[in-house]
Amino acid sequence: MVLIPIPIVQAALEAGYRHIDGAWIYNNEAAVGSALQAMAHHVPRESVFITSKLWNTFHNPEDIEPTLDETLRMLQTEYLDLYLIHWPIAQTPTGGGTNVVDWDLTERPIKTWLKLEELVRAGKIRNIGVSKSVFFSFHFSSNFTDLYAFRSASTSAGFKTSQHLHLSPSNPQSTKSN
């Protein structure tokens, strides 16, 4: 669990940082929200790009909006610039701090994705995506209505361009540029 003191976030904003990367599981959203409010007179919300992530146990469509609303409340903002599916693996809590994989929702994430799209249309999120998708990618069917997770993704430039996808390495320092 990551706890970030508010003064550290304020110092980062004062130094010119304009991308805040948070997540429910990081436990940093309340501190970030407090720092953003404290700095609002120097750094307007519109100048900060805020990313957060949907945790594995909240992939069910009925869980997504309440989880997002809690994130927005803690961040003290009305929208996220980017909301990522933290891991492309849906889980169900079993109690006692353990979770089991929800294979149906993991292998067919269309319900999760459609709910995220709905929240984009509602103005609560500006952009959506998937984090930590080393083994997974999204494939849109020819009519762009079905979304499937699959392994060994198509990563050709033509595929990415035609689907309006942007693939970013999670550790660009460790990858060789083409």
Tell me if residue 162 falls in helix, strand or coil.
helix
Active site includes 79?
Answer: no
Query: Given 26, 79, 83, 148, which residue is catalytic?
Result: 26
Cα distance between residue 116 and residue 144, in whole Å: 15
Tell me if residue 78 falls in helix, strand or coil.
coil
- Sorted by sequence, the CB contacts under 8 Å of residue 107 that are 6+ apart come out as 148, 149
Cα distance between residue 166 and residue 178, in whole Å: 16
Length of the chain, please?
178
Q: Tokens representing 19?
A: 């991308």
Catalytic residue numbers, as ranges:
26
